[in-house]
Chains A and B, each alone.
Chain A
Amino acid sequence: MIIRGDEPDQVRLIRKLYKPGNYFMQGNEAVAYGAIFAGCRFYAGYPITPSSEIAETMARELPKLGGYYLQMEDEIGSIAAMIGASWTGFKVMTATAGPGFSLMQENLGYAVMTETPLVLVDVQRSGPSTGQATKGAQGDFFQARWGTHGDHPIIAVSPTSGQDAFWETIRAFNIAEKLRTPVVVLFDGVLAHTREQIRIPDIEEVEIAYRKLPENEEEAKLPFGDPHGDGVPPMPLFGHGYFTHVTGSTHKETGLRDVYTPEVHDRLVRRIHRKIEKNMDVYEKYEEHFTEDAEILVVSWGVTARPALGAVLKTRREGINVGLFVPKTVHPFPAERMRELAKRARAVLVAEMNLGQMIIEVERYVNDDVLLKGVNKIGGVPLTVEEILREIRGVA
């Protein structure tokens, strides 16, 4: 069995096509190149602003690498095609924005239930509905977490710059492969369209993970078992004579459907949760600035983390003990660290480009005696350093 994109020739192709060095490019292009470096050789998508340049870059670059770009008839078809392709051994990605993300939710749940590795980039845009179609936002925090139905875990990462988007996309692929699960990249329209200097590394600098394949016939016969005790079943790929049965209905370790036995459902869904909970080291990631002595803690994510850092740097110079906490994996939330930091703080400010979403998650880890306040802005224009700075001064 082979994971496509893992062929020895791929290193030669990448070296030939993408010389290490600094380039001036859009965040969306950085996402596409990150995917290519991570080994993505199958992309299925449907155009939507502000994500379209990801599709355009993949359409241009993938054929050079022997990879496949498919423009499907809609977003539902896009995620469906990538799940099909993932079962043949491809590392797969799609990119979309708000409305498209909504359409993908049912099959995102299917990917969770069937433990199919895939990367779904949601370039968040202003909503609800078509809202301000071309403007950025951070309004899909909960859509990523709770958009599909049922009890399910989800992993979502969120880059804070174009450069970060390159690396976070690679990390998303690695998490998806290691844990056999879909991973959402919560990007945003502002960074997606911002051009900045982005360094493309040598392929040797990139850690690349591949999904676990069955070691023998026995493991292949249990595509939803747990032979290694880590909750992650080896994935028997289609086309290798294992007669693998995959269904989004509740299934036993063999893959066969059993929707009548409560224990079977309980065992399956709890293992899928446990696999994520137990492997926190694979995905937990956050950044901290000046948190050692922070009395005021700013929490921010994605695009807003940058002006937030600017504001923290400025107020630090004024002698205010302020720190910044930036979850890079936003789901599951870095709860433990958040709780520790909140314990020492007098005030916690949550800055985001919405009317208050991550703050609902943060609130769960902050005691009542701490002042908790949102710094929010909508309308398609990101928060500025000054706007966040003003709020910090307000609670100082």
Chain B
Amino acid sequence: MANRIYSTYPMVKYLRKEALPTALCPGCGGGTVLNAFANAIDQLKLDPRDLVVVSGIGCSAWIASPYFLADTLHTTHGRAIAFATGVKVGLPDKKVVVISGDGDLASIGGNHLLHAARRNIDMTVILVNNFIYGMTGGQVAPTTPFGAKTTTSPYRNIEHPLQISETVAAAGASYVARWTTAHVYQLIESIKKALQVKGFSLVEVISQCPVQYGRRNRMKEPAEMLRWFLKNSVPVSKAKNMSPEELEGKFIIGEIINRQRPEFTEELNKLIDEVQEHFGLKGE
């Protein structure tokens, strides 16, 4: 298996070979996300030495670390964005990317997600939304659809899922897009855009977890989950004219927001310049 990856997969140059094959289940959407990210880096001709990739804890967190060959920081559960904030302030000229799960980034890490968007710090977050806590055995997540079954909502989920992209856009991000693993080319384009945006960017990827989510919700096969994504995806433009009732259970895909706002590390450095100027501290 690993041998086949080395000989036939062109993106292997971006992966840590010692760490392969991945620990992801066969058919997991995580592989698609890793592939899309590697292709985005490749198409933009970014040098991986100019990247720092940060992740939290969860299956999706492994996409970034250890598998991606760059400086990688595998942090505590939920805290990836806060760690990445320190990295970005220290290395403002590098691209800082966070790849992690919905539980990690939007549940335990929800506060950091909102505030990084508010600050508009220049980093790209790729949030893998598989509607579930995969790694810990399929418990209910803040993204689990209303009525779905999980190990901790065995009868049905009575909580309403968080609309992550819309929330992050409202919090102040520069760029937000949502795709599914059934929209690989669009996903690559959005990751490319996100990487080039100066400011906080979020790409939410709705992704299949056939093992923990699909199995309990009558979609055991990865392909069934992909068909579910395709059938229920609604482009942003179309969704605008739909009522909340019509949108129930649908995935709104496309660019949610794309705008320019002052960016945090630039403002921070500008402030330092001003202060040093004001106190006459500039080097002679």
Contact = CB atoms under 8 A, between A and B. Distances in A.
B35 interface: no
Contacts of B16: 243, 245, 256
Contacts of B94: 238-239
A72 B85 CA distance: 9
A72 B82 CA distance: 8
Contact of B84 (A82, A84, A247): A84
B65 A245 contact: yes
Determine the interface band of chain B, counting residues with CB < 8 A from chain A.
Answer: 35 or more
B124 to A, nearest CB: 15
Contact of A243 (B48, B76, B281): B48
Interface stretch (A8-16, A160-168, A207-215): A8-16
A296 to B, nearest CB: 47
A66 interface: yes
Interface in A227-264: 238-239, 241-249, 254, 256-257
Given A85-B90, A241-B49, A246 B82 contact: no
Contact of B85 (A84, A87, A89): A84
B276 A90 contact: no
Nearest to A73: B115
A64 B281 contact: yes
B79 A42 contact: no
A247 B282 CA distance: 39
B283 A12 contact: yes
Contacts of A83: 75, 83, 86
A64 B281 CA distance: 7
Contacts of B76: 80, 106-107, 110, 248
B65 A84 contact: no
Interface residues of A, number: 49
B270 to A, nearest CB: 10
A243 B87 contact: no
A83 B82 CA distance: 9
Contact of B89 (A17, A68, A77): A68
B74 A249 contact: yes
Interface in A63-88: 63-64, 66-68, 70, 72-74, 76-78, 80-88
Interface in B225-277: 268, 271-272, 275-276
B54 interface: yes
Nearest to A244: B71
Interface string B111-124: 11011000000000
A322 to B, nearest CB: 47
Contacts of B65: 245, 247
Contacts of A239: 52, 71, 90-91, 94
A132 to B, nearest CB: 27
A238 B91 contact: yes
A254 B281 CA distance: 42
> Which label, helix, strand, loop or mixed, suits the secondary structure of the A interface?
mixed
Given A70-B85, A73-B111, A246 B90 contact: no
Given A106-B76, A238-B52, A246-B72, A84 B90 contact: yes
Contacts of B82: 72-73, 76-78, 80-81, 84
Interface in B87-101: 87-91, 94
A44 interface: yes
Given A68-B268, A245-B66, A81 B71 contact: no
Interface string A159-183: 0000000000000000000000000
A254 B18 contact: yes
Nearest to A77: B82
Contacts of A66: 272, 276
Interface string A174-213: 0000000000000000000000000000000000000000
Contacts of A135: none
A328 interface: no
B111 A17 contact: no
A334 B272 CA distance: 43
Contact of B86 (A42, A63, A74, A110): A42
A230 B88 CA distance: 32
Contact of A81 (B83, B91, B275): B83
A42 B89 contact: yes
A125 interface: no
A81 B272 contact: no
Nearest to A86: B86
A4 interface: yes
Given A72-B82, A84-B84, A248 B91 contact: no
Contacts of B66: 245, 247, 256-257
A80 to B, nearest CB: 4
Interface of A: 4, 9, 12-13, 16-17, 42, 44, 63-64, 66-68, 70, 72-74, 76-78, 80-90, 92, 106-107, 110, 238-239, 241-249, 254, 256-257
19 contacts: A12-B283, A17-B281, A63-B272, A72-B82, A73-B111, A73-B114, A80-B83, A84-B84, A85-B87, A87-B86, A87-B87, A238-B91, A238-B94, A243-B49, A243-B71, A244-B71, A245-B72, A248-B74, A257-B66
Given A70-B85, A239-B90, 15 more contacts: A63-B275, A74-B111, A78-B82, A80-B82, A80-B83, A81-B85, A82-B86, A84-B73, A85-B90, A238-B91, A239-B52, A243-B72, A244-B72, A256-B16, A257-B19
Interface of B: 16, 18-19, 48-49, 52, 54, 65-66, 69-76, 79, 82-91, 94, 111-112, 114-115, 268, 271-272, 275-276, 279, 281, 283
Closest 5 CB pairs of A and B: A88-B90, A84-B86, A80-B82, A85-B86, A81-B86
